[in-house]
C-alpha cells in the first residue's frame, strides 16, 4: 500500500514494522490496514507532505500504528470527516485508542493503539 502511495503521489513513504503481524487476528490486521489506508488517503488529498512514515510496533500489551507526515497540518480541534470517524469506529471496536495530533505547518500524526488479544 505504501509503495502504491509513493508511486501515485511522488511522496516517499518509509515503512517500519517491528511486530510480527502474522500473529495478529484477522480483525486486528484489517483494522491496521484500513487505518493506514485512510491516513495515507488523507495525506495524499490534504497534506502536501514531502515525507511519510508508517510504523507498526509491539508495545507489549498493544500494537501501535503510527502514520506521520511533514505536511501542512490542520487545526486538530476541527475533527474532520467521515474517514477519521471510520478509523475511530474501527479502533474502538477492538477496544483501542486513536490519537490525532496536528498543527498548521507542523504535519499530522495518526496514532492507534490496539490491545493484544482483543478481537471483534
Q: What is the pLDDT along the chain (120 residues), one digit of tens a residue?
A: 999 999 999 999 999 998 777 788 899 999 999 999 999 999 999 999 999 999 999 988 899 999 999 999 988 766 667 778 889 999 999 999 999 999 899 999 999 999 987 665
What's the pLDDT at 116?
86
What's the pLDDT at 78?
66
Spatial contact of 52 and 40, defined as CB atoms under 8 Å apart: yes
What is the SS3 assignment for 54? strand
CATH fold of 2-115 reads: Heat Shock Protein 90 (3.30.565)
Structure pTM? Answer: 0.91
Domains of the chain, by residue range, sit at 2-115
Beta carbons within 10 angstroms of residue 4's beta carbon:
10
- Within 8 A by CB and 6+ apart from 66, the residues are 53, 54, 55, 109, 110, 111, 112
**Strand 108-115 relative to strand 97-102: parallel, antiparallel, unpaired?**
antiparallel
What's the pLDDT at 120?
58
Amino acid at each position: 500500500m505504501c509503495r502504491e502511495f509513493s508511486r501515485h503521489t511522488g511522496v516517499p513513504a518509509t515503512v517500519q514494522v517491528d511486530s510480527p503481524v502474522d500473529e495478529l487476528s484477522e480483525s486486528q490486521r484489517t483494522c491496521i490496514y484500513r487505518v493506514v489506508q485512510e491516513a495515507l488517503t488523507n495525506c495524499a488529498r490534504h497534506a502536501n507532505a514531502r515525507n511519510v512514515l508508517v510504523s507498526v510496533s509491539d508495545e507489549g500489551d498493544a500494537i501501535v500504528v503510527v502514520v506521520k507526515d511533514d505536511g501542512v497540518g490542520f487545526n486538530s480541534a476541527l475533527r474532520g470527516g467521515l474517514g477519521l470517524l471510520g478509523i475511530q469506529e474501527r479502533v474502538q471496536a477492538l477496544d483501542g485508542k486513536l490519537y490525532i495530533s496536528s498543527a498548521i505547518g507542523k504535519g499530522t500524526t495518526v496514532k492507534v493503539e490496539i490491545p493484544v488479544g482483543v478481537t471483534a
